[in-house]
Amino acid sequence: MAKYLLLKHYRGAPAPVNNVPMDQWAPDEVEAHIKFMQDFAAKLETSGEFVDAQALSPDGVWVSYDGDGRPAAVDGPFAETKDLIAGWMVIDVDSYERAIELAGELSAAPGAGGALGRHSGLPREGAGRAPDRG
């Protein structure tokens, strides 16, 4: 089995499909989306393929190292995480093909107006544990 990271974003969907940012959705649209995500996660828990998932807050800043003795630079001329990633899910599956299949299902979460959101579920395989630094 291999672990894959599925990234969700809500900006960048094809304009004719559903490119309305989630903060502009009606409350019932948000509820339908969240229910879809919960049901999807429950299905994967039953099959043993679910590892973890989180929605991310729309708040956040870009932080980067600015050199020894200097404070970290906050924000700047970079895309902010909130503009790129709305959440993530980690799955543990038997094959890359299964990861693609689940990413496709995940991208069908309803969006504004109840339309299929086609929010990307970009599968990235985990590289294994980080080296122990202790």
DSSP the chain: -EEEEEEE-SSSS-HHHH---GGGS-HHHHHHHHHHHHHHHHHHHHHT-EEEEEE--S----EE---TTSPPEES-SS--HHHH-SEEEEEEES-HHHHHHHHHHHTT-B-GGG-B----EEEEE---PPPP--
Residue 66 lies in a domain: no
Please work out, in degrees rounded to the nearest 5, the angle formed at the alpha carbon of residue 3 by the alpha carbons of 18 and 116: 15
Residue 6 lies in a domain: yes
pLDDT in tens, 7-27: 877 555 555 456 677 788 899
Q: Is residue 133 part of a domain?
A: no
Q: Does 130 map to a domain?
A: no
Summarised one tens digit per residue, pLDDT across range 55-114 is 877 666 666 777 788 777 666 555 555 556 778 899 999 998 999 899 888 888 887 777
Q: Give a yes or no: residue 90 inside a domain.
A: yes
Whole-structure pTM value: 0.72
Residue 110 domain boundaries: 2-58+82-125
Whether 68 is in a domain gets the answer no
Domain containing residue 26: CATH number:
3.30.70.1060
